[in-house]
Structure 1
Amino acid sequence: MGRVTARRPIVRIRGDVVSRRPDSLAVEEPLEIRVGGESLTVTMRTPGHDFDLVHGFLLGEAVVGAREDIATLRYCDGVDEDGRNTFNVVDVTLRVPVPVTSGRNFPTTSACGVCGKASLDQVRMHDRFAPGADPVSVTAAALAGMPDTLRAAQRVFDATGGLHAAGLFTPDGELLALREDVGRHNAVDKVLGWALAEGLVPLRGTVLMVSGRASFELVQKSVAAGVPVLGAVSAPSSLAVDVAETAGTTLVGFLRGDTMNVYTGSGRIDT
């Protein structure tokens, strides 16, 4: 799995038995995103699908809205102590340059996509593709099957137990794309960035499924991409519910087995 996983020695204790063995861990490394050669942000991520991550990040920040907005995207030179390229810096050239660095040049952890924004105004959702008018419907049975499909496709999680996942589905439960990352928001950026690169944004008639809780930022990212239905295996936050209600997003939490809580947009769910 290359740089996605790393092996480290551990001491394992099980009852009275102590043993030493290697363990597989998810890799976490910084990725610097530059626009026009200027540093925009640094995020901690699991290497892999970096261009998808950059596409999705820029979509969520309303810097781009279609793949045609990006002229070029490339890795920059960056080397480790042995002189090998680290592939930890990506530079984007926009077809129409826009100011993107003001108030947004800051380090980001893999756990937080909005920490460090300069003001609360920057936390408002970007809703050019707000999904309120999307007529899609999905059955409760199809929704109930999506978490198992998502989990079954998490190849790196099987090896490490340490990654979040996001998957894009059709309403009948077909998995279109899955991405894994140490950060919830990175996994979502990667899968939505894949869709942007494929020319699928706005993502009308789709379901975004996440493997953890539904935070405000994940709802914001789904709204920015035009996703009408967001499902999560755990709970949403109060702000996530408020944003989903305003945008017209169907927000479903606690998707476990055949049970679920529909917080907003219940009219899209067929029982």
Structure 2
Amino acid sequence: MGRVTERRRVIRIRDGAVSTRPDTLVAEEPMEIRLGGKPLAITMRTPGDDFALAAGFLVSEGVLASAAELANIVYCAGATGEGGSNTYNVVDVRLADGVPVPDITLERNVYTTSSCGLCGKASLDAVRTTARWPLDTSPDTPVRIEPATLSALPDRLRAAQRVFERTGGLHAAALFTTDGELLDIREDVGRHNAVDKIVGRALQQGRLPLSSCVLMVSGRASFELVQKAVMAGIPVLAAVSAPSSLAVDLAVETGLTLVGFLRGTSMNVYAGEHRLTLSAAASTD
């Protein structure tokens, strides 16, 4: 669709010298997600991978868990702009026959997925009880990762951000193996959208749950991102910045390994340290 970036004229000032030049900006447009023809949510996103975004969003909502539960996703023909052309900003998700359509309204959705509208024990309980694939919290879990492997992920994430290199204005989410192999990366103005695109593509490819993977995100780790990781069965979430207190609470509650401030060889492990191969002499002060 060619709408990932746009060009705008800017005035550039460098060391007192003034010039005009075109600048490349990341595109941002609203997308409405409908379920069975009924409005469900509106998100601001970077166009591209829209069907994966919608599918991943519904995974995080507990609606979808496999490609077999999804009939199709289509752009709504009625979304028209100037001249009657389709804006490609409205998608409708149809579930497969026999899959119940949950009673989700736009008002409920704003409550359950907004990073600023969630709080308290009810939020934690809701994710724990609706997760299709509870995370293995045993100390003997087969998912293990070296801190040195985690340390290499931010650079690998940044190196794979093609649009960021052109715009400097969007987030990324990447899926890695526990050996540090890059499996997929998506970019978006919203880090939650980037994660939904990752998870949605995995659902479309029949790869859920992502029980042997590490999710790496740019920026901070919010409650919403921890929720999305848990709902996709991802055992390890790493971020280059800080988590919120509720994100840590949810990680502890569900058994997710949560790593923040991942910069160089330094990192903070907030939950799920049993999946990291730490030195026996590590201090617990």
Measured in 2, the distance between the counterparts of 1:115 and 1:129 equals 26
With over 3 angstroms needed to count, the CA separation of the structure-2 counterparts of 1:268 and 1:33, relative to structure 1, is same
Measured in 1, the distance between the counterparts of 2:160 and 2:192 equals 18
Q: Report percent identity of matched pairs.
A: 58
Task: Say whether 1:138 aligns with 2:145.
Answer: yes
Counterpart in 2 of 1:128? 132
Shift of 1:15: 2.0
CA deviation digits over 1:128-168, x for unaligned, max 9? 21213453001111111111111000000011100100000
Measured in 1, the distance between the counterparts of 2:57 and 2:177 equals 22
Counterpart in 1 of 2:50? 50
Q: What is the RMSD computed on CA atoms of the aligned residues?
A: 2.2
Unaligned runs of 5+ in 2: 279-285
Counterpart in 1 of 2:247? 240
CA deviation digits over 1:44-74, x for unaligned, max 9? 1000000110011000011111111111111
Counterpart in 1 of 2:283? none
Shift of 1:113: 3.5
Say which SS state the counterpart of residue 157 (structure 1) adopts.
Answer: helix
Does structure 1 conserve the Cα–Cα contact (< 8 Å) formed by 2:39 and 2:106? no
Counterpart in 2 of 1:9? 9
Counterpart in 2 of 1:87? 88
Structure 2-normalised TM-score? 0.88
Unaligned runs of 5+ in 1: none
Measured in 1, the distance between the counterparts of 2:16 and 2:106 equals 54
Shift of 1:82: 2.8
Number of residue pairs the alignment of both structures matches: 268
CA deviation digits over 1:189-213, x for unaligned, max 9? 1111111111111111110000110
Say which SS state the counterpart of residue 162 (structure 1) adopts.
Answer: coil
Aligned ranges 1:187-202 → 2 under 5 Å: 187-202=194-209
Counterpart in 1 of 2:281? none
| Structure 2 counterpart of 1:62, one-letter code | G
Counterpart in 2 of 1:71? 71
Measured in 2, the distance between the counterparts of 1:38 and 1:127 equals 24
| Structure 1 counterpart of 2:247, one-letter code | A
Aligned ranges 1:1-271 → 2 under 5 Å: 2-77=2-77, 78-95=79-96, 96-102=99-105, 104=107, 113-114=114-115, 121=122, 124-125=126-127, 126-133=130-137, 134-271=141-278
Measured in 1, the distance between the counterparts of 2:252 and 2:67 equals 28
With over 3 angstroms needed to count, the CA separation of the structure-2 counterparts of 1:127 and 1:105, relative to structure 1, is closer
